[in-house]
Structure 1
Amino acid sequence: MLDQFLQFVSRNQLCSQSDSTLLTVSGGIDSIVMLYLFREAGFNISVAHANFQLRGDESDGDQQFVTEVCKAFNIPFFTRRFNTEEYAWENSLSIQLAAREMRYAWFKELADAKKFDHIATAHHFDDTMETILLNLIRGSGVDGFSGVPIKNGRIIRPLMFASRKQVEKYADVHGIVWREDESNHSDNYQRNYIRHHVMPHLREMNPSLESTWRNGYDKVNQEISIILRASEKWKTEYVREFQGRTLVSKTALDEYPGNPAMLWRFIRNFGFNFDQACDILRAVHGQPGKRFTSPTHLLVLDRTDIIIIEKKNEWNEVIVNGATGAYYMGPWSLAFHSVSETEPSDSHLNNSQDTAILDASNVSLPLTWRKWKAGDFFFPLGLGHRKKLSDFLVDEKLSVADKELVTVVESNGNIVWVSGLRIDDRFKITTATTKRIRLEISRL
């Protein structure tokens, strides 16, 4: 098994003997066998053990066991205790997800602090088979059939060449002692149910299940690599970033007419689901302005593009009290400056897109900075008469997504500036202006 281990590590370029590798060791058979293999191969290793305090004395016993193994082998050792149940409750997570989040965050923190090149977990091929079945049950897309990745950034899984039986045989032959987690025998977890009840039936149907599955697994991953290359090419041709938003050209959907898969592969990164991708595909050539929301983003069908912007919840109006400095709302920062009389009074300064120069004698402090709303009106600079702000935004040819981000600055209930677009004519500077106020808006 050692030869297979070394060949697998080398073939997949997981790590070298001189690299600094952090092994994540629970004390169970899989992680202890991984430790023994790395040690026998002469790799430069350290060990991290997470104590989730879920099994009382048993959890403490695991920690003590791993501590003693590392001490006996003179291996650098790190451990941390987690209040898993409290974290799960505070973040509305299952115990399993909470433990996963906390341990991976700690492993990364530890690797950053101690400059480890790799973080090794003890997943083997049985784990990937179980993961694929779970993903299938949960309605995963094709990516779910790739199972547990062999390498993901710094995280490596050097036992993925081995089955559970191979791991058990290696431990038996070498007289390796490990700690048994009694929760592994419970069917309360979906993975355990699959392991105890589904996999045995599949092995009855196919005694060579592991080797047959591995052949299919390799084929699927090769096909997924083709899909990923096609996806990257699609993104390069049709997706662009502009002023804090993501734009997808509507012509991108002509590449796969009637098929929402490529669109979903992209927009799921923003929290949108497959059903929404289907709805978007049906609506994309209809009237512009239709919108879709995910927990984190807004998607708008514009004239030529699909526009995706992050939802910002901090849109409460802001009082600008006249103190020089920056104020914040949503994705915006607003800088306030009181300008001295010695600065130039050229009226063209009023027309700067991101800057407004106002006649301070006409402005009453404090100012109110807020999102625009239906019914707003102002006197656009140079127009000479009142205009509804909604009509002004149409004339400016703003997309629905852009309109979502428009803010205004008010003085005594009068709009002095449609931020980033136009000041109100009543507050412009003139040759008679002696003191000015300068406002500057920028995206965070």
Structure 2
Amino acid sequence: MFIAFKNHLQEQFPEVAEAKILVAVSGGVDSVVLVHLCKKAGLDISLAHCNFQLRGEESEEDENFVIELADALDLQIFIEEFETEAYADEKKLSTQMAARDLRYHWFDELCETLQFDYIFTAHHANDNLETVLINFIRGTGLDGLTGIPDKNDCIRRPLLPFTRKQIEDFAHLNHLKWREDSSNQSLKYFRNKVRLEVIPKLMELNPQLLESFGKTRGYLQQSSDLIEDYMSAIFPKIAKEEEFGYSFRIKLIKTLPNTKAVMYALFKSFGFTEWEDVHGLLDAQPGKMVYSKTHRLIKDREELLLTTISGEDRRYEISEGEEVVMLPIGTFQFEEVGEISESQSDNAIFVDANRLNFPLVVRKWERGDYFYPFGMQGKKKLSKFFKDEKLSLPQKENCWLLCSGEEIMWVMGRRLDARFAVDNDTNKIIRISFEP
């Protein structure tokens, strides 16, 4: 198995040869074998162990075992204890999902703080089969049927081609010790039911199930790659990046074959699940919306508009005398000038400094807001101004205002307020620019 493992690393993960690697170790046979294989291959590894404190004394014994393993192999080890059940209650997650979140958040922190290049986990072929069956039972698309990816950001899974039997045979042959997790036998977990009850029945029907699964997964992955290539080719033709997210041209989407499948591929990564509603937006009335947990899809006149969902009501203040102000939304620059050297633009205005009331306030627009548009007579409600400018709903929602006291000074990127404009009585001019 070592030769096969080493060859697999060279073919699929050549980037890890000189990398600094963090290996996730539970103490079970899979992760213990992974550690020994990596050590034997001469990789630069350290170990990370999560104590989820779910099995009392057994969890403490797992931790002690992993510490002894690190000492025996002269490896650095990191240990973290989690209040998993409290976290699961707080986030309203299952215990397994809570443990997964805590685990990967901690791994990410370790990588960022200590500059590890990659994280190795010990998922293997049996884990992959279980995952695909679970996804199939619950309902899934093509991605769910391709299983656990070999690579995912900085995570690498070098044992995926190997079966649990191969791993256990290697452990026995090399007289390795490991810990057995008693919870793996509990049928209260859905994954364990699939592992202990469903897969054995399938193996009776086809003793070569894992080999067949490996071939099928390869074919499905090729199909998935083909779809990704197709979407990469058509995306620039139907989508346009906007300040609020993306807009998609409905007319062009409708011309594509298999429209519903195209929309699934376009929007699946944004968390949408109600695919009939998403597809229905193509012919819906303007203003209709479909939500995921993180995003919103809006039917505009001739486009679908994709935006993130944000509950933040952000508001920033700028003190007098500031020259450069960096905010999360972009950077302001304030410069005193002798004259207006350029025309007003979307990203720069010239104002009468003596009319400013500090601190200046940067905020989103609110219903009832009005201003005095430069170049026009009288005041105008922002809602009417936006309508005249033919702004979409996301454009309105993402419109920022620079205010002097309670008065709007600049509808940023759109129009200066005439009350602050330079005139013949101005003796001090400030140029204000903004870079998103």
* TM-score (ref. length: structure 2): 0.85
Q: Deviations over 1:186-233 (max 9, x none)?
A: 112111111111111111222222222222122111211212211222
Q: 1:383 to 1:69 in 2, by over 3 A?
A: closer
2:180 aligned partner: 180
Are 1:221 and 2:225 counterparts?
Answer: no
Q: How much does 1:372 deviate?
A: 3.1
Aligned partners of 2:283 and 2:257: how far apart in 1? 12
Conserved in 2, the CA contact under 8 Å of 1:239 and 1:248?
A: yes
Work out whether residues 345 and 430 of structure 1, in 8 Å CA contact, stay in contact via their aligned partners in 2: no
Quick one: structure 1 residues 60 and 437, their matched pair in 2 at CA, closer, same or farther if it must change by over 3 Å? same
Instruction: Specify the SS of the correspondent of 1:260.
Output: helix
How far is the alpha carbon of 1:22 from its aligned partner? 3.3
Question: Could you give the per-residue CA deviations for residues 175-195 of structure 1, whole angstroms, max 9, x where no partner exists?
Answer: 322111111111121111111
Letter of the 1:423 counterpart: L
What displacement does 1:252 show? 4.3
The whole-number CA distance in structure 1 between the counterparts of 2:265 and 2:373 is: 43
User: 1:150·1:157 contact (CA, 8 Å) conserved in 2?
Assistant: yes
- 1:135 matched to 2:135? The reply is yes
Matched to 2:220, the amino acid is: V
Q: Which residue of 1 aligns with 2:394?
A: 401
Q: Which residue of the partner structure matches residue 296 of structure 2?
A: 298
Aligned residue runs from structure 1 range 119-198, under 5 A: 119-198=119-198
Q: In the alignment, which residue of structure 1 is the partner of 2:418?
A: 425
Report how far residue 93 of structure 1 moved.
3.1
Structure 1 counterpart of 2:313, from 308, 312, 315: 315
Question: Structure 2 residue aligned with 1:354, among 347, 352, 356?
Answer: 347
Q: Provide, for residues 271-292 of structure 1, a one-character-per-residue CA deviation record: whole Å limited to 9, x for no partner.
A: 3x132x4334333355544333
- Once residues 123 and 278 of structure 1 are traced to their aligned partners in structure 2, the CA distance between those partners, rounded to angstroms, is 35
Q: 1:347 to 1:199 in 2, by over 3 A?
A: same
Q: What residue identity is the alignment partner of 1:159? A: L
Matched, 1:383 2:382: no
Relative distance call for 1:53 and 1:247 in structure 2 (3 A) is: same
Contact 1:322–1:336 (8 Å) recurs in 2: no
Shift of 1:130: 0.4
Instruction: Sort the Cα spacing of 1:159 and 1:422 in 2 relative to 1 into closer, same or farther, 3 A.
Output: closer
CA distance in 2, matches of 1:230, 1:280: 20
Q: Once the 2 structures are TM-superposed, how far is the Cα of residue 431 of structure 1 from its aligned partner?
A: 0.7
Distance 1:297 1:346, change over 3 A: same
Q: Deviations over 1:228-287 (max 9, x none)?
A: 21122222433332335223333441353563232232323333x132x43343333555
| Counterpart Cα distance in 1 of 2:299 and 2:329 | 23
How far 1:45 sits from its partner (Å)? 3.7
The 3-state SS of whatever aligns with 2:290 is: strand
Residues 414, 72 of structure 1: CA spacing in aligned structure 2 closer, same or farther, 3 A cutoff?
closer
Match of 1:344, as an amino acid? G
What's the CA shift for 1:42? 4.8
* Deviation string, structure 1 residues 86-125 (Cα, Å, up to 9, x no partner): 4434444333223222322333443455554443211111
Q: Distance in 1 between matches of 2:159 and 2:367?
A: 61
Indicate the residue corresponding to 2:13 in structure 1.
13
| 2:279 corresponds to 1:281 | yes
Moved more, 204-213 or 416-425: 416-425
The 1:57–1:412 alpha-carbon spacing in structure 2 relative to 1, beyond 3 Å, is: closer
**1:326-365 → structure 2 map (5 Å cutoff):** 332=329, 335=332, 343-346=337-340, 351-359=344-352
**Aligned to 1:284, what secondary structure does the other structure show?**
helix
Q: Where does the alignment leave 5 or more consecutive residues of structure 2 unmatched?
A: none
* Separation of aligned partners in 2, 1:407 and 1:287: 28
Residues 196 and 248 of structure 1: CA distance in aligned 2, closer, same or farther (over 3 Å):
same
Give secondary structure in 2 for the equivalent of 1:274.
coil
d(CA) in 2 for partners of 1:35, 1:412 = 62
Deviations 1:370-402 (A, max 9, x none): 433444444322222444433322332322221
Provide the residue aligned with 1:80 in structure 2: 80
- Unaligned stretches of 5+ in structure 1? none
**Change in CA separation of 1:364 and 1:34 when aligned onto 2, cut-off 3 Å:** closer
Pairwise CA distance, 1:23? 2.6
In structure 2, the residue matched to 1:49 is 49
Counterpart-to-counterpart distance in 1, 2:106 and 2:286: 46
Q: Secondary structure at the match of 2:384?
A: helix
Residue 18 to residue 332, structure 1, CA distance change in 2 (3 Å): closer
Aligned residue for 2:259, secondary structure, equals: coil
Report the AA paired with residue 55 of structure 1. R
CA distance in 2, matches of 1:317, 1:266: 33
CA distance in 1, matches of 2:18, 2:403: 64
Partner Cα separation in structure 1 for residue 284 and residue 140 of structure 2: 30
SS of aligned partner of 2:13: coil
Structure 1, residues 314-360: CA drift from partner, whole Å, max 9, x if none?
Answer: 3256666756478899x7458585x76xx4354976x3323343445
- The answer to whether the Cα contact below 8 Å between 1:358 and 1:428 also exists between their aligned partners in 2 is yes
Q: Which amino acid aligns with 1:357?
A: F
Measured in 1, the distance between the counterparts of 2:416 and 2:215 equals 67
Distance 1:117 1:315, change over 3 A: closer
2-structure distance, mates of 1:18, 1:387: 64
For residues 107 and 31 of structure 2, the distance between their equivalents in structure 1, rounded to whole angstroms, comes to 15
SS at match of 1:183: helix
Q: Which amino acid aligns with 1:274?
A: T
Equivalent-residue separation in structure 2 for 1:263 and 1:169 (angstroms): 46
